[in-house]
Structure formats: structure tokens, C-alpha cells
Amino acid sequence: MTSLDTAAAPQARRHPTVKPHAMGIVKHVLLIAGSIAMVYPLLWLVVSSFKPNDMIFKDLSIFTRDLTLQNYVSGWTSLQNPFGTYILNSLVIAVLCIIGNLISCSLAAYAFARLKFVGRNVYFAIMLMTIMLPFQVVLVPQFTIYRLLGWINTILPLVVPKFLATDAFFVFLMVQFIRALPKEIYEAGQIDGANQFTLFSRITLPLMVPALATTSIFTFIWTWSDFFGPLLYLRIPDMFTVSVALKGFLDSQSTSDYGAMFAMSVVSLVPLFIVFMFGQKYLIKGFATTGIK
């Protein structure tokens, strides 16, 4: 704040006609206009999902009187399974992925951040480089492996890799976090004769809860929104996730039930919005510590 207060004075002197106060109002007007433009499509989606089908494209206003829940009722049942099935499928995958990432990434991160062993730097460099590896390069053989194992139409291809620390981004995030913990705690633990596993489970894990929270939130958002994986591996309607199920509305567009499609789109965004409301702090911290999304 101090820099701003001192900076404002010469600014005002250069433009004597514009008072700092007026500048502030202009700024807010611009920002509010920008915010509305950014969020308007989302608001329109939500309001449209409550409009009767023939009204959706007639007016672009988000202020309207005759709202109905009909789209939600028809949308919930208009695909092969009730929409709840797809939500449940997505939730199961997301929860398992979160558990997998928390366990495997924290183990790997502890090794990289706290332990000294032969080849650590080489492995760490490899780990960082896998963040940049395009997934297409491993796609065909992975698909072949899963097919030979009989894993197609199961959630295993989406979940098992998470238990083997394949999300290098989270390993890196946790490494950053563990490195910032005070070294004295570990020295004290070692004097008390704690082994590395105790140091990990009793000292590191409780202290790195914020990093674990960030990991859980990001994992949830990414697996919930993931489309390519479920599209590839889950090919029977009973197994569909929310994102693949939503695609079903596009395939059957001859019926053009836009209301139902919008309603279920809103339903699919609700969990992301809840996570956003309650997890914002950890999301933003996660960004700040790693410098990448």
C-alpha cells in the first residue's frame, strides 16, 4: 500500500485535472465492466437452464420471469442412465485419483526434498521433464497395455497411474513445500532416533497439509473435467463420467433439447464451483509456490 500512496502524488501532479479519487472510480468502472463480460456467458447458461426451451434463444437477458425446473427434470433422465449414475462414476474416479496422488506424490516428494541418495538429481531432472512430455507420445502403447490387461471399460486406466506418482506436477509442488519447512524439526527428530518413515509420517505429513489440500483440489478439478481419458477407456454408458455423458446431448441434437443440455451442464459445473468457493485459498497458494498451473 505504501508504494501506492507515494506513487499517487506525482501522478496527480502530472495530470492536475484528474484527481486520484476520480482515477479510482474509472478503474472500478472498467473492472466491473470487464467482470460482467467475463461472467456473463456463465450467468446466461445458468438462467437459460431455467427457461422454457422455446425462450432460450429468444432473449439474451438474464432477467426473466417465467422460470421452470422442467429442464432439470427432463435432463436428469433423458440419457440412457439417470444423470446421477454419471455423477457417481465421476466422483468415484475423482476420489480414487485424489487418494492415489496424495500417497504416491508425497512419498516421491519426500525422497526428492529430504533424502540424499545416488542419482537423486538425475531422477529429479527426469521427473521435471515429464511435466513437459506430451501425453500423445505414450498414448497408443498405454492403450494397448490396458487392452491386453482387459482394463478397457473399467476405471483402472484412469486411476492406477495416479498411485504411481505419474502427475509430476504435484510431486514438484510438494517438493517445493517440504524444502521450505524448517530443518531444525528434522534434526530434533533424528536426535530422538526417528527413522525416515517416522520423520515422513509424523512430522512431514502433518506439516504439509496445505500442499496436500492444493493437490486434492487440483486433482479433483482435472479429473472431473477430464474428457479424453474417459472417452477413450469408458465405452459403455453404465461407465460414463459426467463429461462423456454430456457429450451424449450433442450426439442426439436432432431433438434439440437445449434446456436439458444446459441444465445438466450446470449440474456438472456445480462441484467445480463449490471447490472454487471453498478452495480458492489453496488454489492461489498452489499457483504462487510453483509458478505454473
Residues 207-236 that bind other proteins (CB under 8 A): 221-222, 224-225, 227-228, 231-232
Q: Which is nearer to other proteins, 95 or 107 (CB)?
A: 107
Q: Which of 169, 98, 178, 100 is nearest to 130 (CA)?
A: 169
Contact assessment for residue 230 and residue 47, using Cβ atoms and an 8 Å cutoff: no
- Stretch of residues binding other proteins (CB under 8 A), selected from 69-77, 88-96, 193-201, 207-215: 193-201
Q: Which is nearer to other proteins, 68 or 196 (CB)?
A: 196
Q: Which of 42, 77, 88, 53 is nearest to 248 (CA)?
A: 77
Instruction: Based on the shown chain and the rule CB under 8 A, indicate whether residue 191 belongs to the binding site for other proteins.
Output: no
| Site string (49-68) toward other proteins, x via CB under 8 A | --------x-xx--------
The residues, any chain, with a CB within 8 Å of residue 285's CB and separated by 6 or more, are 210, 214
**What are the C-alpha distances in Å from 280 to residues 14, 207, 214?**
39, 20, 9
**What are the C-alpha distances in Å from 290 to residues 44, 92, 158, 160, 231?**
34, 28, 25, 25, 30
**What number of chain residues touch other proteins (CB under 8 A)?**
112
The residues, any chain, with a CB within 8 Å of residue 123's CB and separated by 6 or more, are 112
Q: Which is nearer to other proteins, 37 or 66 (CB)?
A: 37
Contact assessment for residue 48 and residue 259, using Cβ atoms and an 8 Å cutoff: yes
Given candidates 247, 252, 255, 278, which one binds other proteins under the rule CB under 8 A? 247
**Cell numbers standing for residue 183:** 530443518
Tell me the DSSP string of 144-178. Answer: HHHHHTT-TTSSHHHHGGGGGT--HHHHHHHHHHH
CB of residue 185 to other proteins, shortest distance in Å: 17
Among left, alpha and beta (phi > 0; psi -120 to 50; other), residue 257 is beta
Window 167-186: residues binding other proteins (CB under 8 A): 169, 171-172, 176
**What dihedral angle (degrees, nearest 10) is formed by the CA atoms of 96, 283, 264, 73?**
90
- Stretch of residues binding other proteins (CB under 8 A), selected from 34-42, 70-78, 79-87, 88-96: 34-42
Instruction: Based on the shown chain and the rule CB under 8 A, indicate whether residue 44 belongs to the binding site for other proteins.
Output: yes
CB of residue 82 to other proteins, shortest distance in Å: 18
**What are the C-alpha distances in Å from 265 to residues 228, 247, 254?**
17, 10, 18
- Stretch of residues binding other proteins (CB under 8 A), selected from 65-73, 80-88, 91-99, 276-284: 276-284
Q: What's 79's DSSP letter?
A: S
Q: Which is nearer to other proteins, 70 or 124 (CB)?
A: 124
Given candidates 98, 111, 158, 211, which one binds other proteins under the rule CB under 8 A? 111
Contact assessment for residue 263 and residue 49, using Cβ atoms and an 8 Å cutoff: yes
CB of residue 288 to other proteins, shortest distance in Å: 4
Window 69-108: residues binding other proteins (CB under 8 A): 103-104, 107-108
CB of residue 136 to other proteins, shortest distance in Å: 4
Window 6-25: residues binding other proteins (CB under 8 A): 6-7, 10-11, 24
CB of residue 240 to other proteins, shortest distance in Å: 11
| Site string (126-165) toward other proteins, x via CB under 8 A | xxxxxxxxxxxxxxxxxxxx-xx------------x-xxx
